[in-house]
Structure 1
């Protein structure tokens, strides 16, 4: 199929398309990972976004269902330079085209992805519209004007709940810790990491109640990754009010959106990056060890926490070495810590997987103090 791509700055591209004939819009973000397109497309954090891959070929290995981070493709669409006619992987269950068609999503390719990346790198993330049915630039401009920039976390959580999105596969071991997981769009890999460390997981969908949480009597709370602007989520819901009650009662750990919401709960500002961090090769310096060490991490976010006005309460645990933005923090007095990167990777390196062990330590300490009280 022929397809068209229009950006909000007026740039217009023609290309080819595979997947489902459709029209979709979203914020275009580029991902520089050389592998892992299956995990990226099925990551709920990409809801509302069109993923532009910088790698020359996408779809070489087809789709392996066991590698997906959820049962659905959450990215609105994908953009890439080339898509091979055939997938070559003995584990593959279907081609990228079949996957896209079944998910009612599409991909546009055979266009100048280098120019697109340069535009986003220089101008920041841009909204765009992709159509396989309308090639009229004036018509597409009018449609793009009505693209809504909205809070998406509630949508992800409802989708997750109604579609039974998660299938936790775990090691056969005793569950030692009750963990309430607040699901804003959680990845399968995070659930597996927690479960494999002995966590008995209770998924709590947003919006949530304090009463439901207290009934579980958890040893710890996990705030998940997710999509959308945390500032909008905070302004349109009572989530911060509820989190402020939770954060003083339990050991808490947050990743990505969860990290940002913890920062907002204590009064930190959330700033938007020019073009975000979306890849599996981001260097992060950890201050949790002596000597300090550098980890290569997987990241997927457009926003960062500005810790400056909460330094009396929080200390920096991790720093992004490319731009010196905050990559992790912990509370000085309460059992709370959070990171901006993804220690479970999927895709990506496993350098930071030990971060989950700090959460286990917090819960162990909390349980001992609770038993001694």
Structure 2
């Protein structure tokens, strides 16, 4: 029974959220099919009912990797946490989850690495994309319904930008880039109060520091595509909007990623997509996972060169150890990674492994024990699932 109580405490910690809503009217309650699930809403800052546009089908878009380097365990915890939530929704609540993941295979960092390595950007990105799929498989993360590469959606992205220009939500700069005009969208700042970049900029022709690139004019020898306003490549934010819109249309049930993506990435996605589809709300539910940091609250980042690759991690610990580490905290909270913290995850995992082994041996008749009160066991089991459903 101690193991069962421990599992209940873990799951309560994982799904627990604030009980009281703040008065933030920006979120629009969807019209559709009610589920038995409540989810935390970062706009209202409280739990709200999960309502699906299509009965028993959750349309979920998740921001995937930028494939210029190996994925690290900070990335892994975001995908593991999302996978845990997905499994609960599909396996316990019987919701059909259509998960689509975007793969950024053209980007400033990819171009930089391509130049430095002397490899074609496609060769470079495909290598790390394949490696990413292998890493996710080793971590027992379920494959999404679709993987969508940015370079496979260039026509849809160009059309998206063209429509925003036609509706006066964008403007072309002197060099042929296209920026989104945030002053034309009066709902900007749904997810977080906008904070202009300290440096206006990387693009001197922006009307506002908050304006962001929809399309970047190409430089010498950079990968580029032809469009009505000149050759170039997509801006970062437009990629996810165009892909998710191409797959799901003018409404997405759920959109997720790391907490660092809330602003500006997800904010910009929501703004341009609402303008493109002429709707007041494009994503109904945003899900943001907390960061994994090193001891001392030091961010794990490729730019700081302090990352631990998934492959290196698996030389010392198992996939289940990392999953247990994620289960031991709420999905929105940060995780501190250290050997001490991991040893705790290892010990908890071992308790569950031993418990399951004892159960298997008992069922197989290999484990002699006293009488088991099956009614009591069933009651505890039901209480556990009630806690999952209501907390």
Answer yes or no: same fold by TM over 0.5.
no
TM range (shorter): under 0.3
Higher strand share: 1
Higher helix share: 2
TM-score (norm 2): 0.21
Q: Which structure has the larger Rg over C-alpha atoms?
A: 2
- The one of the two structures with greater contact order (alpha-carbon pairs below 8 A, sep at least 6) is 2
TM-score (norm 1): 0.22
